[in-house]
Amino acid sequence: MIDERKVLDLLTEPSFRPGLVKVVDEVRRGVADPVEVVSRSLDAAKRYSHLNAYITLLDDVAMERAESLRKALRRGLDRGRLFGVPVSLKDNILTRGVRTTMGSRIFQSYVPAINARVVDVLESQGAVVVGKANLHEFASGVSNKSSVAGPARNPHDPSRISGGSSGGSAVSVAIGSAYISVGTDTSGSVRIPAALCGVVGYKPTYGLIDIWGVFPLAWTLDTVGVLARSISDIAYFLYAVTGDLDYVVRISTDLDIRKITIGYLELDENNKVEKYIMDIISKLDSEGYNIRRISINIESYIETQRVIRLAEASAIHRELYREYRDLYSPDVANLIEQGFKYSAVDYLAAQRSRSILTQSYRSVFKSVDAVVTPTVPVVAPPIEQLDEMAFRALATRYTTVANLVGSPALSLPVGLVEGLPVGLQLLGDVGHDAELLAIAKSIEVAVSKT
């Protein structure tokens, strides 16, 4: 059995960027005070309040929680794997006694009586929820422009979108007000804002993290995901909430990159972001990874996922929409109206197609260990010039595949184009989360040498 202390030692080596793992280590050793850690996080949220990362900031609640953890620490009580760690939660994740809006005017005063299961797990491990993060209304968009609280703004340029639908989550991590943000991903909603804001966004294999108590968008596609500052932090978080030490052991073990085969799709040299990603792929080739061009019929996955997503979303919203039609944002209402047009036959045909496409996707991993693409093939556009539907088509081009097949996927920040962040997406085989994180860690290190 691997000693957890040794794993923390490995993860806090200088080669890893400080973040969640560092604060856990320091709080456990008594070097850092949970009250001071949480206070700094709240200060960051207030300092960057113009970016609108939060719908509800839990100042008093978070400080009371930190005080109670400090007392527990002094008494030597069980401290949990996330003891004293400030986290934010996307505001479609139910929190007992705390307003949960879903980003919608319909729920702007709703206070749940229960927690989502992931919240119970976080609290049992000693995490401190500092706020409910902004999101696109009902998690139904990729810009975060349509929200009851107004748009979350990009920390690299506040005139630009954060991406969505977990936009506030990405911003909260980028500004240092949360070490981890728990979001949701149905078409790329964790990975898209992660890419546009320059943080790591991870969508695990479907069902890895319990989604009970999260307001649904499309129940066979929705996944609880996580945003953080590094792959090490993602791996440690997964260990913390699942108890599976394999996530951190894998990324703490040196990979022989000569045995790693990376697949890539044909990209457009005339697109600045795709050209930049091509250069990253070339760098990986020169570093010693085996690079292989592959073919995936992206359009088939996009259309199949679209039918399922819209049909399920419309079924979920049918009663709400009838009663509160005027309270929906136009772009969200448009999507629901589109979903109403699909028949049961359309939906079942799409699910059948999904089974075939999933088999095809999984066959790719007989010859490669991971597939890389741009996360989003453009940088964050200006809020005021945004065409929501056109941007959705661009932003989800490479991300919807993983939701359709239920595979793990992540966005890794790899640099800037025109002064704005760009993300490299890594796709893995279904159920092979630890392997994908290990490959991502090695790529994170390789890219940092540039």
Q: What are phi and psi of 380, to 5 degrees?
A: -60, 125
Q: How far apart are CA 429 and CA 404, in angstroms?
A: 13
Q: What is the pLDDT of residue 1?
A: 43
- Cα 106 → chain centroid: 25
Same domain, 35 and 154: yes
Same domain, 177 and 273: no
- Check if 162 is active-site: no
End residue of a domain, out of 251, 267, 291: 251
Q: What is the pLDDT of residue 2?
A: 47
The neighbour count for residue 385, using CB atoms within 10 Å, is 10
Does any domain span residue 375? Answer: yes
Catalytic residue among 181, 189, 252, 353: 189
Q: Do 251 and 235 contact (CB within 8 A), yes or no?
A: yes
Total domain count, the chain = 2
Q: What does the block give as tokens for 319?
A: 């009663």
Same domain, 143 and 292: no
Does any domain span residue 318? Answer: no
Does any domain span residue 380? Answer: yes
- Check if 272 is active-site: no
Does any domain span residue 360? Answer: yes
Crossing angle of helices 388-395/330-340, nearest 10°?
A: 70
Q: What is the CATH number of the domain that holds 14?
A: 3.90.1300.10
416: β partners: 421
Length of the chain: 450
Q: What does the block give as tokens for 373?
A: 């693409």
Q: What does the block give as tokens for 407?
A: 């595979």
Does any domain span residue 311? Answer: no
Q: What is the pLDDT along the chain (450 residues), one digit of tens a residue?
A: 445 555 555 455 444 445 898 899 899 888 999 999 999 999 999 999 999 999 999 999 999 999 999 999 889 886 799 999 999 999 999 999 999 999 999 999 999 999 999 999 999 999 999 999 999 999 999 999 999 999 999 999 999 999 999 999 999 999 999 999 999 999 999 999 999 999 999 999 999 999 999 999 999 999 999 999 999 999 999 999 999 999 988 998 888 999 999 999 999 999 999 999 999 999 999 999 999 999 999 999 999 999 999 999 999 999 999 999 999 999 999 999 999 999 999 999 999 999 999 999 999 999 999 999 999 999 999 999 999 999 999 999 999 999 999 999 999 999 999 999 999 999 999 999 999 999 999 999 999 886
Catalytic residue among 22, 41, 88, 90: 90
Nearest to 136 by CA among 171, 109, 175: 171
Same domain, 37 and 149: yes
Q: Is 57 exposed, middle or buried (0-12, 13-18, 19+ CB in 10 A)?
A: buried
421: β partners: 416
Does any domain span residue 353? Answer: yes
Same domain, 368 and 347: yes
End residue of a domain, out of 227, 251, 275: 251
CB-based contacts of 118, cutoff 8 Å, min separation 6:
93, 182, 209, 210, 211, 213, 214, 224, 241
- Check if 189 is active-site: yes
Same domain, 33 and 161: yes
Q: Do 288 and 395 contact (CB within 8 A), yes or no?
A: no
Does any domain span residue 334? Answer: no
Same domain, 204 and 292: no
SS3 401: helix
Same domain, 357 and 424: yes
Same domain, 13 and 157: yes
Does any domain span residue 438? Answer: yes
Torsion of CA 83, 87, 93, 96, to 10 degrees: 50
- Global pTM value: 0.95
Catalytic residue among 88, 143, 146, 165: 165
Nearest to 179 by CA among 15, 50, 34: 34
Range of the domain at 155: 4-251
CB-based contacts of 71, cutoff 8 Å, min separation 6:
none
CB-based contacts of 166, cutoff 8 Å, min separation 6:
90, 133, 135, 139, 181, 183, 184, 185, 189, 190, 193, 201, 225, 227
The neighbour count for residue 53, using CB atoms within 10 Å, is 32
Nearest to 197 by CA among 235, 159, 156: 156
Q: What does the block give as tokens for 310?
A: 């819209």
Same domain, 236 and 265: no
End residue of a domain, out of 251, 270, 286: 251
Q: What is the pLDDT of residue 249?
A: 87
Q: Which helix (H) or strand (E) holds 263?
A: strand 261-264
Same domain, 207 and 291: no
Same domain, 268 and 240: no
Q: What is the pLDDT of residue 8?
A: 56
Q: What are phi and psi of 289, to 5 degrees?
A: -70, 150
Q: Do 226 and 182 contact (CB within 8 A), yes or no?
A: yes
Crossing angle of helices 433-448/272-287, nearest 10°?
A: 90
